[in-house]
Structure 1
């Protein structure tokens, strides 16, 4: 009875937001994936209907020789075959597959646009989930490669990137021409991200076909600042700013596996490397999901599985003042 009186005495203050996060639709029926569309802050069930973040596992067009052994062993038998690697990612429960065209980097194999496009087409045909395709990160080379890839994947409604302030015209134009969405990559600065979105929308690519990549920092390497920027983007979207409304993509695997904590093997006082690295990737992803991220790209399947378990708990509704489940 006393608890019921306390609950009755509590007045729940609910925000009434006028805006929402844009909903991005990727892929083709019957295997489309929707990202974004949130009408409240993340996982706040009594203010809106939280939208579950979607996940991807990363595939590369060449064997990633710089990956540590604890990561390579998860895909050891398929690392030289991107199509087989992609199928393995789907078996592991990824909503999306991200293909990174690392071989196109001028200091790597310097693969040409046609070969890259052929690889992308082969991977797309190997799986029935939507595809994210990223270039090598060299802006000039990506501007030559991505339009050819976009044409090869016409009709598949993919997410292509990365479009930056230096090459967005070419990359965005290809997405408009061949029916894809674009990853807009900017430094970890909300004003630069918004400006890039404005420039891309001026090319007739609407906000719901833009995924913002804020160049996140992982746990121990700028995570707090990344959290604050993504949270500010979510608040801007809910307040009605359409140029901050596109969903946020977080390349968690890429950033996490650069850290010493994930890379270093012989450090007994840090604990087992395989467990430590997976937790580093998982904690980074869960934290940024709480900030407002919508699409999360992992490298280790164990991190994806742990992330999904945490999100399962966060997606279970609860009412204040009762504690959340779990």
Structure 2
């Protein structure tokens, strides 16, 4: 995980649980006026000096908020959704000690959460994963007839032991125009003992104006607020950073939510898969009857940028 996540606005009758940048490397999470930083950790567990870490929680609201902490083991299922799993002897969850476990952050205030990794047994070589959840404590309201609403964010923690080998293979890339939303589909295998993920940018060109893969370059300052995509590029954004866990093969989706007129296009990719350059162009055709998404933020917030800010809802509680 690049790790963890933003708390998102509360909706009536549900519990929100986003493991937000699970390996994505996003900016400090913000939601319901809460900020959490950093969003993730990569820790070399062979170095004792790096096992103690801290997380900063900011309350940007005008009201106090009460929060509690928990830790959970996780994997990614075949739908690339975070899935909680029961801890085993070699689970990083078993080795994380944190403080405080429950606290109140005053309006405009901050709280530091400290955690340390203390293995109970000799860690096996490879990647170990856990998520530290920061969860809002539901307020007791006897008069309320609805379901308590809480928000939950997660900070991804990766621990590494021994010789780490990230071996990512991009088996294929295609653009699927047959479903309700256009999707670029990246077929990725992770053949080492640690997660791999994409990094870089994509751009969508009208086929008639595409200059060729060797002539295109990453767009400068695309991650800055108000960034604009100049014509003839129809859309641009960041590649999905969804992690592909060791010894697995997954299809990672990049939803193309920009409304494209029917016609021929080229998906141009300037990126890498764990250090291995990816320079590809994938022609595709938007049919006349294609179901197109309505996206009003076509210039400043491309679909992939939204994807970088959160993973799928894990929908799990301890």
- The two structures have a TM-score, normalised by structure 2, of 0.24
Q: Point out the structure with max Rg over C-alpha.
A: 2
Between structures 1 and 2, the one with greater helix share: 1
Structure that is richer in strand per residue = 2
Question: What's the TM-score once normalised by structure 1's chain length?
Answer: 0.23
